[in-house]
Amino acid sequence: MTETVAPLSFDINGIKAHQRNRHPVLLIDRIVEAVPGQRARGIKCFSYNEWFFPGHFDDEPTVPGFVQVECLAQTFIMTFLCQEAYKGMKTNFASINNVKFKRKIIPGDVLTIDAELQSFRRGVAQGVATSAVDGELACSAEFVIVIPDVMSGFKPRN
């Protein structure tokens, strides 16, 4: 019999308690639903006041690709960092694959991000995340992200 886990949600303070990103690189605004060890849904509301818009670009402001990917990653890590055993632990990218950008994101857009944890073993998390604006696909990527403190427990001892 499979145990049912009640979805969680996190405001900005809850996100800060579970992951180490801080201003100006803490990008997601809210986790509206997280099922620990399975999936998470986050949102990011883009306003013209974002630090990157004046430089990208003043005549036609658009969200840079690296910001979009970071929003995906921050939502993805909440699939496992929302578990009490991993709360607040440091994470590192191991790989980002198959990144696809499908639409321009501009000030005023609200990005909805869905992330799925496909595998988590020995501190190595693998999964995917996609984002959409008003139901239209915006960006997607596959991630391998590691928790160094967990991985170190599996190093061979001499």
* Active site residue ranges: 56
Q: Sheet holding 39-45: strands in order across? A: 8-10, 30-35, 39-45, 110-121, 124-133, 136-146, 92-101
104-109, long-range: CB < 8 A, 24+ apart: 104/62, 104/63, 105/46, 105/62, 105/63, 105/68, 105/133, 105/138, 106/46, 106/61, 106/62, 106/63, 107/46, 107/47, 107/48, 107/50, 107/53, 107/61, 108/46, 108/47, 108/48, 109/46, 109/63, 109/133
